[in-house]
Structure 1
Amino acid sequence: MPTQVANSESLVTAALSSTMRAAVYHNINDVRLETVPVPSIGPGELLVRIATCGVCGTDLKKIHLGSHSAPRIFGHEMAGTIVAAGKGVTKFALGQRVMVYHHVPCGQCYYCRKNTPAQCPLYKKTGATAGFEASGGGFAEYIRVMDWIVAGGGVVAIPDGVPFEQAAFIEPVNTVLKGVKLLNLRPDDTVLVIGQGPIGLMHAVLAHRLGARVLTSDLYPERHAIAAGFGLTNPIHAGEENVADRVKSETEGRGADAVVLAVGGNALIKTAMDACRMGGRVMLFAQTQHGEATFDPGAVCVDEKTLLGSYSSSFDIANEVSDLVFNGYRNGFDLTRLISHRFSLEDAIQAIDVASHPKADSMKIMIEPVPGRGGE
């Protein structure tokens, strides 16, 4: 029997186990490691064994703020191996390594036609689950990928030689590239990116790849050191210097052509606006909770500064993102270098805690149901 077929059959046998381990959300700051049923699949669906899943800031907000009903299993930056396929699935094979998006837009509704796919009603419906109400499910051993995700391009085959961990960055890279494109950067632009966690660093790298001069702001020198490894060599140490003043000193007093606010603190909106030149753009990327914040309306009207936002991914650039992530693994865009911590699923609660309390030495936190498989 060929090795590939034998391996696929062994994976299917493992997948047919009736139970699995998962980190289950029950209430605000209440996530428990539990044994739950392996989700069953229907026609057109896939069952994927998770190899690795990143802990995203949106997962943390849901856990800490209680914005979603319980119980749920979160996690959506995920990659793994297909272990079962429903009737009618012809594009994918057992044993195939894949990355899974948890949202797919319809491409036809009013919002899709207006190029705001994150507002599409279908896109707002999550199509991957490890049980309970669909919420991604990557903090578990297996996920069910629903038929419209499979049919709508939400499952991406991982090429040989690219590890699961690199592929798991496709969804966050998509969200970042979508935001960078909204800024309409020119090669002679100066860009300030506030925050050099994984999301902010990716914003800075992609802006830099477009030819812009990029200044990066963060409290932690350790993060600036990581950024330097990606060619970002204009750090601003936010704990030691005034960010807006430094940006103006670097731009003949004007300010940045574009500013990306990649951290969630609303108080930093003023910093971003102050650091932006007249006629420039400020993009909010991490302000995902509704509420109120203050800013100078004269800066928008009289100074003609544009305040805009970007949220979630765009399937118009999905192929571009996949090529960027896959080809970038060996060409200067190895995102696995952003991973600071790897936890087994049994230690998922600790992983969530570490991600919830970022320190100088913490960047991307990954949960791997089977330790060591994320680098395969």
Structure 2
Amino acid sequence: MKAAIFYGAKDIRVENVAEPQMVGPGEVRLKPFWCGICGTDVHEYAMGPIVIPSKPHKLNGSILPQILGHEFSAEVLELGKGVTNVKVGDRVSVMPLLSCGVCYFCSRGDNHLCTSMACIGLSCEWGGIAEQAVVPAANVFKLHDSMSDVAGALVEPTAVAAYGVDRGNVRPGDTILITGAGPIGALAAIYAENLGARVFVSELNPNRKRLIDDLGIATLLDPTKDDVIGVLKDATGGIGVDAVIECSGNERALQTSVKAVRSGGFIVQTGLHTRPASIEPMEFSEREITYTGTWCYPVTDWPRIIELIGRRGLPVEKVVSSQIAMDDIVAKGFEELVSPTGNETKVLVRGF
């Protein structure tokens, strides 16, 4: 079967590999439909290995080379012994986080903070950019009948975005700022607007600005042209926004977040910073600003996100800019996404 395999920075190869030979108890064999290229994957391609282990992973022994893909939808092909939550032929979304179940954090239900956490498509034998994969049945969830296979591949990034908004204590009627309109920022805007929040989005990339305009759910601000702080102060009677979801990982955006949020408000760091950023801690104290980070999402969130997309009709598919064949994953996928002049926002790779 074909699979996209990461060997190192700038070295991803589409190769023929052996199909999974057996499905163990509590496992399922899947046929992936679509798999998203995540920002984590792009960082691995540009500078890795970072998360992908170059020595055996302590949870499962996984090591380079790695079949990529952790944002995927699939069809169930085969059930291992004891599997009852899905059946052959079901369309599913895969929750990719793997945890030990016994460490301090797992015992508290915070499995996404597991001290030995692994991830399908990053630190696991299998990944979603392949013609088949074998994963634990506990990690697959049946899609709502109204959901497309494409929407199923967007459950994972939607869960990331929703967790950021939830950590900001966003409620109906709140006014929020989202900095950065990449896939996570755009999905955060969709989720927050669905909650009943008034949403502002700060973004300077023309293609991502166009996406927010097309969604029609937020007021768009360009930080190179607009007085972002001034606009937000005017919109809130001089108070500031209730929450900022910082999705860019940019120092300037973080500094804007501090100036934009109201006293007693929330700043959620969802975008990953790759270098130190300068902030003024005294301002957090004087104004009782809560600054919190997010890492992935609660592993129990999958059914809720599927229901939101399926029953509430969250238009998550609109963040997809391209759907490509596996053979084009480098030229039309990773190279476009790492390019500062690239036109892509969210690229999905076909697994069949």
TM-score range, shorter chain: 0.7 to 0.9
Give 1:85's aligned amino acid.
L
Cα RMSD of the aligned pairs, angstroms, is 2.4
Measured after TM superposition, the shift of residue 157 of structure 1 is: 1.2
1:125 equivalent to 2:118? Answer yes
Correspondence for 1:44 among 26, 48, 54: 26
**Whole-Å separation in 2 of the counterparts to 1:326 and 1:141:** 26
Pairing of 1:83-98 with structure 2 (within 5 A): 83-98=77-92
**Whole-Å separation in 2 of the counterparts to 1:136 and 1:219:** 37
Correspondence for 1:138 among 115, 128, 150: 128
Pairing of 1:66-105 with structure 2 (within 5 A): 66=48, 67=50, 68=52, 69=54, 70-105=64-99
Give 1:168's aligned amino acid.
A
- Structure 2 equivalent of residue 54 of structure 1: 36
- Structure 1 equivalent of residue 286 of structure 2: 302
What are the ranges of 5 or more consecutive residues in structure 1 without an aligned counterpart? Answer: 1-19, 371-376
Q: TM-score, normalised by structure 1?
A: 0.82
Give 2:67's aligned amino acid.
I
What are the ranges of 5 or more consecutive residues in structure 2 without an aligned counterpart? Answer: 55-63
Residues 186-225 of structure 1 deviation map (CA, whole Å, 9 limit, x = unaligned): 3332100011122101111222222221111111344334
Measured after TM superposition, the shift of residue 106 of structure 1 is: 6.3
- Structure 2 equivalent of residue 201 of structure 1: 186
- Structure 1 equivalent of residue 328 of structure 2: 347
Cα distance change, pair 108–318 in 1 and its aligned pair in 2 (3 A): farther
Pairing of 1:15-54 with structure 2 (within 5 A): 20-40=1-21, 41-54=23-36
Measured after TM superposition, the shift of residue 265 of structure 1 is: 2.1
- Structure 2 equivalent of residue 338 of structure 1: 319
1:256 equivalent to 2:241? Answer yes
Residues 288-331 of structure 1 deviation map (CA, whole Å, 9 limit, x = unaligned): 65x53221011111122111111102134332111012224xx3
1:319 equivalent to 2:306? Answer no
**Whole-Å separation in 1 of the counterparts to 2:344 and 2:125:** 25
**Whole-Å separation in 2 of the counterparts to 1:292 and 1:125:** 26
Provide the secondary structure at the position in 1 that maps to 2:321: strand
Cα distance change, pair 142–192 in 1 and its aligned pair in 2 (3 A): same
**Whole-Å separation in 1 of the counterparts to 2:118 and 2:295:** 15
Measured after TM superposition, the shift of residue 95 of structure 1 is: 2.3
- Structure 1 equivalent of residue 60 of structure 2: none
**Whole-Å separation in 1 of the counterparts to 2:125 and 2:68:** 5
**Whole-Å separation in 1 of the counterparts to 2:39 and 2:105:** 25
Q: After superposing the two structures, state which structure 1 stretch, 311-320 or 198-207, moved more.
A: 311-320
- Kept in 1, the 8 Å contact 2:178–2:201? The answer is yes
- Kept in 2, the 8 Å contact 1:258–1:280? The answer is yes
Q: Percent identity over the alignment? A: 29
Cα distance change, pair 110–155 in 1 and its aligned pair in 2 (3 A): same
Q: After superposing the two structures, state which structure 1 stretch, 250-259 or 356-365, moved more.
A: 356-365
- Kept in 1, the 8 Å contact 2:241–2:265? The answer is yes
Cα distance change, pair 286–163 in 1 and its aligned pair in 2 (3 A): same
- Structure 2 equivalent of residue 10 of structure 1: none
Cα distance change, pair 175–133 in 1 and its aligned pair in 2 (3 A): closer
Q: After superposing the two structures, state which structure 1 stretch, 90-99 or 212-221, moved more.
A: 90-99
Measured after TM superposition, the shift of residue 135 of structure 1 is: 6.5
Q: TM-score, normalised by structure 2?
A: 0.87
Q: How many residues align?
A: 338
- Structure 2 equivalent of residue 215 of structure 1: 200
Measured after TM superposition, the shift of residue 107 of structure 1 is: 6.4
Measured after TM superposition, the shift of residue 361 of structure 1 is: 4.1
